[in-house]
Amino acid sequence: MKKADRKRSVPLLELAHARSGDKGDTANVGLIALKPEYYPILVKHVTAARVARHFKGMISGPVERYELPNLHALNFLLHGALDGGGTISLKTALLRLELELPK
Amino acid sequence: MKPRSATVRIAAGQGFWGDWLEAPYRQVTGGPVDYLMMDYLAEVTMSILQKQKSRDPSLGYAKDFIPLMERILPIVAERRIKITANAGGVNPRGCAQAVAEVARRLRLSGKLRIGVVTGDDLLGRLDGLLARGHELQNLDTNRRLADVRDRVVSANAYLGAWPVVDALRRGADVVVTGRVTDTGLTLAPMIHAFGWRPDAWDLLAAGTVAGHTIECGAQCSGGNCLVDWERIPDLANVGYPIVEAAPDGTFEITKHPGTGGRISVAGVTEQLVYEMGNPGEYITPDCIADFTTIRLEQHGKDRVRVSGVRGRPATDKLKVSIGYFYGYKAVGTLVYAWPDAYQKAQAADRILRQRLADLGLKFESVLTEFVGADATHGPLARASAPLDQLPEVQLRIGVRSPDRAAVDRFTREIAPLILNGPPSVTGFAGGRPKPEEIVAYWPALLDKGMVEPCVEVVDV
């Protein structure tokens, strides 16, 4: 069996919920594990680089990540997210992300 | 010394200016509370209020606050409920005066004291501050304020809880403030009730977390909550949150019995991460709260217990919120129907953009959205939805320019598309869009010593 076959694609929506807000041109998305045991999966797979790739073309600046193990949550700061204005919903857009997890 | 209260109940009544008008009334009638906290001010609100005040010097505060006070003052006076509200905007004295008039009309003379907190308004002091070397650099861009000085319309320092505490200590029943932080309005009653000291950083941080939890009203009691959203009960009758605080800095978030919504760890967590920067340092004028120390547990139905909050000493700066005139904008919309709804909306956008270019109009930005197709998720939506089968798509196109004439001409280019553009169009009942002024936000820091809060307490 090839290694690739042992992976499965899981939508982030099944592992986490989220809330977003903004300050100036920076948006934040708080990503919260639906169960405590999902938190380490988020820490490992939902990296700042992965989130930056997901939002490519939608934000113009870098992505920062902070960990809140006490709340089983990650906080992402998306810089240059609001320049275009408009009605973008970053929290649900982030939950579209698909993770490649071991079976 | 007076005996200190065992617990104090602080109810959130407004999460922003324009929030549910029924909420404050329900909070003071639905069960026992000691304080009603109402947050009215967002980043750009001060500029809107400053503009109103420049047209009429008696205005410049949240006007809704006055009829609301008329409705609830007899109840809060009878039940000895105290109110903290930053409804004063850029004219707290005018706001307090209007509240006093209402109170006298309600025959509450001699039964009510009103506190007023000012000193946050820096608009008249800006040139002096700049001349003394306070550059008020933009925290996001590092630009110096001098670059936009002639376009500044409002400038307010964020004051913390202590001036509000001062007003409460002097017997104020209703404290009306200018730009006091959202969290300070909740922290102040705790400091007052429990006698917390100015260097009790863990306690001040706990009260700050309590304030952050309820500052957006129902957003922590079931509103705007993604988890299991369809099963959140009776949002029509949603209960706004109440903090039940203890002198040791622990507190519980709950709501009145018989109300809708839900107080859960998931919902409270969502509110905690709302508008969060670095969770290790949530900076207010009163302290630095460390959100990575917060412990949450469900403590019965619709009740979440919060403990463990640690804090650090406050910084020697205050944040200043400055609004400056940036230019003009307008947004026009049209709705295209099946078949080929998305394609028709795209075609209309191309036609409109060509006409704007042919007219030689210059815009700093032209933003097109296709609502119903990809407005909220951008390119991510295109990957998953069958965009050629959509029953309808709203074309929403916005322009921004320093040139008012260009924006004004844009607003006249929408309606013609109904008869001279792609077919099956509707959704233009609102008429021609109106050009609006844009006030941009300029965050800065200022030495604390440069701001002197002023507290007055008057009998009605």
Rounded to an integer, the average pLDDT of B139-146 is: 92
Q: Is residue B333 part of a domain?
A: yes
Q: Are residues B231 and B209 in the same domain?
A: yes
Contact A24 B227 (CB under 8 A): no
Q: What confidence tier does A85 reach under pLDDT thresholds 50, 70, 90?
A: low
Domain count, chain A: 1
More confident residue, B307 or A6: B307
Q: Count of domains in chain B? A: 2
CA dist B233 and A91 (Å) reads: 23
For residue A18, give how far its alpha carbon lies from the nearest alpha carbon of chain B (Å): 7
B198 and B87 in a common domain: yes
Mean local confidence (pLDDT), B138-158? 94
- Provide mean pLDDT across the span A76-81: 92
- At which of B272, B289, B315 does a domain end? B315
Size of interface A-B (CB pairs under 8 A): 109
Confidence band of B3 (pLDDT split at 50, 70, 90): very low
B194 and B54: one domain?
Answer: yes
By C-alpha distance, which of B413, B409, B407, B414 is closest to B435? B407
Tell whether B230 and B176 lie within a shared domain: yes
pLDDT at B431: 81
Closest-CA residue to B145 (of B411, B447, B445): B445
In angstroms, the CA B214 to CA B9 distance is: 12
Q: Are residues B306 and B342 in the same domain?
A: no
Q: Which residues in chain B have their CB less than 8 angstroms from residue A77's CB?
A: 277
Among candidates B182, B181, B160, B163, which has minimal Cα distance to B172? B163
In a domain, B380, yes or no: yes
| pLDDT number for residue A58 | 86
Q: Residue B280 and residue A88: Cβ atoms within 8 Å?
A: no
Instruction: Tell me if A89 is assigned to some domain.
Output: yes
Interchain CB contact of B307 with A (< 8 Å)? no
Backbone CA torsion sign across B59, B65, B68, B70: negative
Q: What is the pLDDT of residue B223?
A: 96
pLDDT score, position B22: 98
Q: What is the mean pLDDT of residues A77-98?
A: 81
Among B269, B328, B436, pick the best mutation site for testing chain A contact (most A Cβ within 10 A): B269
User: Which of B224, B380, B398 has its CB closest to that of A85?
Assistant: B398
Q: Is the domain of B298 the same as that of B424?
A: no
Residue B2 belongs to a domain: no
In this predicted structure, what is the pLDDT of residue A86?
Answer: 64
Residue B58: predicted pLDDT: 94
Among B38-52, B73-87, B123-137, B178-192, whose mean pLDDT is lowest? Answer: B38-52
Which of B449, B438, B222, B181 has its CA nearest to residue B316? B449
Which chain B residues in 147-206 lie under 8 Å from chain A, judged by CB atoms? none
CB B365 within 8 A of CB A86: no
User: Chain B: nearest CA to A8, how far in angstroms?
Assistant: 18
Distance CA A43, CA A21 (A): 21
pLDDT digit string (tens) for B428-437? 777 899 999 9
The rounded Cα A48 to chain-centroid distance in angstroms is: 8
- What is the rounded CA–CA span in Å between residue B289 and residue B200? 12
Whether A3 is covered by a domain: the verdict is: no
Question: Does the pLDDT at position B4 exceed 70?
Answer: no
User: What is the domain-level CATH number for residue B421?
Assistant: 3.30.70.2750
Q: Which ipTM score applies to this complex?
A: 0.92
Closest CA to B38 of B251, B214, B159, B162: B214
Tell me the chain A residues in contact with residue B292 when contact means C-beta distances shorter than 8 Å.
Answer: 67-70
Question: Distance, in angstroms, between A49 CA and closest chain B CA?
Answer: 17
Of A21, A24, A58, which has the smallest distance from its Cβ to B140's Cβ?
A24
The verdict on B233 and B299 lying in the same domain is yes
A6 within a domain of the structure (yes/no):
no
Please indicate, yes or no, if residue B52 is contained in any of the structural domains: yes
Same domain assignment for residues B417 and B384 = yes
- Asked if the model's pLDDT at residue B237 lies above 80, the reply is yes
**DSSP bridge pairs for B305:** B252, B297
Percent above pLDDT 70 for chain B = 99
* Chain A nearest CA to B287, separation (Å): 20
pLDDT at B270 over 50: yes
**B411 within a domain of the structure (yes/no):** yes
- What sign has the CA pseudo-torsion B372, B376, B379, B382? negative
pLDDT the model gives residue B148:
95
d(CA B241, CA B435): 38
Least CA distance to A77: which residue of chain B?
Answer: B277
What pLDDT does B271 receive?
Answer: 97
The rounded distance, in Å, linking the Cα atoms of B139 and B132 is 19
Read off the CATH number of the domain in which A69 is found.
3.30.70
User: What's the number of CA atoms in the CB half-sphere (13 Å) around residue B420?
Assistant: 7
- For B158, which DSSP code? -
What is the number of other CB atoms lying within 10 angstroms of the CB of residue B387? 17
Give the distance from residue A62's alpha carbon to the nearest chain B alpha carbon, in angstroms. 13
Q: Is residue B346 part of a domain?
A: yes
B205 and B63 assigned to the same domain: yes
The pLDDT of residue A87 is above 80? no
Question: Which chain B residue has the Cα nearest residue A30?
Answer: B273
Is some CB atom of chain A closer than 8 A to the CB atom of B218? Answer: no
What is the average pLDDT across B134-158?
94
What confidence score (pLDDT) does residue B380 get? 86
The two structure tokens encoding residue B312: 């650090």
Report if residue A5 sits inside a domain: no
Residue A75 counted as domain residue: yes
pTM of the model as a whole: 0.94
For residues B350-354, average pLDDT: 98
Check whether residue B338 and residue B306 sit in a common domain.
Answer: no
pLDDT at B1: 43
Asked if the Cβ–Cβ distance from A70 to B398 is below 8 Å, we say no
For B383-387, what is the mean pLDDT?
77
State residue A2's pLDDT score: 53
Q: Return mean pLDDT, chain B.
A: 95
Any domain includes A7: no
Whether B31 and B163 share a structural domain = yes
Q: Which domain covers residue A53, as residue numbers?
A: 15-102
* Cβ within 8 Å of residue B295, ≥6 positions away: A70, B306, B307, B308
The CB-side HSE value for B40 (13 A sphere, CA atoms) comes to 28
Using a CB–CB cutoff of 8 Å, tell me whether A89 touches chain B: yes
Element (H, E) at B407: helix B404-411
Of B200, B216, B204, B284, give the one whose Cα is nearest residue B41. B216
Report how far Cα B280 is from the mean position of its chain's Cα atoms. Answer: 23
In a domain, B455, yes or no: no
pLDDT tens sequence across A10-65: 999 999 999 998 877 789 999 999 999 999 999 999 999 999 999 988 888 999 99
What number is the average pLDDT over the span B399-409? 96
Given this model, what pLDDT does residue B43 score? 78
Considering the domain architecture, whether residues B301 and B431 belong to the same structural domain is answered as no
Q: Is residue A37 part of a domain?
A: yes
Q: Is residue B132 part of a domain?
A: no
- Residue of A22, A50, A70, A91 to mutate for B, most B C-beta atoms under 10 A: A70
Q: Which domain holds residue B36?
A: 8-120+158-315
